């Protein structure tokens, strides 16, 4: 099983469990659409957010054009944001 963390735009943080076979659909469900891996160099982190070097940040690819709510944990991203260990994406 693969676990990943979802930082909800409403302030909640959830841990989601998925099988390897269902990972893409689980990630899409978590961000409510197509996924996009975000370059950490361009991400602002709130004081409450810690992302390890071996983790990826994933958001909704169309979040801005869908006018999704700003995420309080990642202030320059919108919608629900996922962090997942990069090795789990292979």
Question: 51: domain range?
Answer: 2-89
Domains contained in the chain, number: 1
Cβ of 56: how many Cβ atoms within 10 Å?
19
Whether the Cβ atoms of residue 60 and residue 43 lie closer than 8 Å to each other: no
Separation of alpha carbons 36 and 64, rounded Å:
12
Q: pLDDT tens digits for 48-76?
A: 888 999 999 999 999 999 999 999 999 99
Phi, psi (5° rounding) for residue 11? Answer: 105, -15
Q: How far is CA 86 from the centre of its chain?
A: 12
User: 69 or 45: whose pLDDT is higher?
Assistant: 69
Report strand pairing: 2-7 vs 81-85.
Answer: antiparallel
What is the DSSP secondary structure assignment for residue 52, as one 8-state letter? Answer: -
Kindly state the tokens that stand for 1: 């099983």
Which residues does residue 42 pair with via DSSP β-bridges, in sequence order? Answer: none
Task: Give residue 17's pLDDT band: very low, low, confident or very high (50, 70, 90).
Answer: very high
């Amino acid at each position: 099983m693969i676990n990943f963390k979802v930082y909800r735009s409403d302030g909640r943080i959830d841990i989601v469990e998925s099988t390897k076979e269902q990972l893409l659909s689980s990630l899409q469900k978590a961000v409510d659409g197509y996924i996009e891996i975000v370059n950490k160099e361009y991400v602002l982190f709130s004081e409450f957010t810690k992302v390890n070097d071996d983790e990826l940040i994933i958001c909704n690819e169309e979040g801005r054009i869908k006018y999704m709510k700003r995420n309080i944990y990642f202030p320059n991203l919108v919608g629900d944001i996922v962090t997942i260990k990069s090795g789990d994406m292979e």
